[in-house]
Amino acid sequence: MTDPRDDTGAPVPVPERVRRVVSLVPSLTETVAVSAPGLPAGATDWCTHPEDLDVPRIRGTKNPDVEQIVALRPDVVVGNTEENRPADVEALRAAGVAVWMTEIRTVQGAFASLRRMLTEACRVEAPGWLDEAEAAWAAVTPGPPRRAVVPVWRRPWMVVGSGTFTGDVLGRLGVVNVYADHAERYPRIPLDELNAAGADLVVLPDEPYRFTAADGPEAFPGLAAALVNGRYLTWYGPSLAEAPAVLARQLAEVI
């Protein structure tokens, strides 16, 4: 039987029955744990959902403990091309571990990628929440267009650029990313340039950098600021079902 291929086109030797899954990405951890609670066998230190998840921790997305992962004897490891380093993926595969890599740049792409990951890499049925999430996003009516800068870090300032899942999420809600055509996906832009970019809104998520009402809006004195939940803005998983309503509300509550 031919091995299934992940989002990068790599064949992955997934066994016919999967019992143990290690996840290298928080949103994929939540996806697997909610869809098949008995499968997670390891997760990163940053995997906060589900909140009661009790599995061994294998450090972070950018510095996973490869030896520990191998020792956990996973049937498959799931990761993401944006979040995880090729060197770590290659080390795991060299150790004989099946690694399934996702590549997600859009909301619609997330639905297709997660469905394949669950059914082909984890050998479980597609969960109902995927259909609910697709229906929720299909029903979205974008608000009036607003031009925004979307920082994800400061010191130095970094913003959402081109070809990102986050940018597609905001675009579906009527928020036009000023840097959507930038050559880089997460460019470093000086603060004075951000303030002169022609935006009328700054979107400040609480991850990866934890922007708050007291840390972020003051850097953009001429712009309305929307503080949003980073999990709903940047995670692809069960949170997608609630994301349209939550983000629409938070984007409307500008300060």
- Tell me what the pLDDT averaged over the chain comes to: 97
The residue type of 101 is M
The Cα–Cα gap between 246 and 174 comes to 14
| Cα 182 → chain centroid | 20
Q: Cα–Cα distance between 87 and 99 in angstroms, integer?
A: 12
> pTM for the full model?
0.94
Domains in the chain, start-ordered, CATH in brackets? Answer: 21-126 (3.40.50.1980), 138-252 (3.40.50.1980)
Contact assessment for residue 59 and residue 44, using Cβ atoms and an 8 Å cutoff: yes
pLDDT of 132-158, one tens digit each? 999 999 999 998 899 999 999 999 999
The whole-number pLDDT of residue 255 equals 87
217 pLDDT tier (thresholds 50, 70, 90): very high
Residue 23 pLDDT level (bands cut at 50, 70, 90): very high
- Residues 106-127 have pLDDT tens digits of 999 999 999 999 999 999 999 9
Task: Give the pLDDT band of residue 1 (cuts 50, 70, 90).
Answer: low
Q: Which residues contact 17 (CB under 8 A, 6 or more apart)?
A: 75, 123
**pLDDT, tens digit, for every residue of 56-93?**
999 999 999 999 999 999 999 999 999 999 999 999 99
Per-residue confidence (pLDDT) for residue 240, from 0 to 100: 97
Mean pLDDT of 16-25: 98
Q: How far is the C-alpha of 83 from the C-alpha of 197, rounded, in Å? A: 28
Which residues are within 8 A (CB) of 85 and not within 5 positions of it... i.e. 6 or more apart? 62
The stretch 168-180 carries a mean pLDDT of: 97
At 181, is the pLDDT very low, low, confident or very high (cuts 50, 70, 90)? Answer: very high
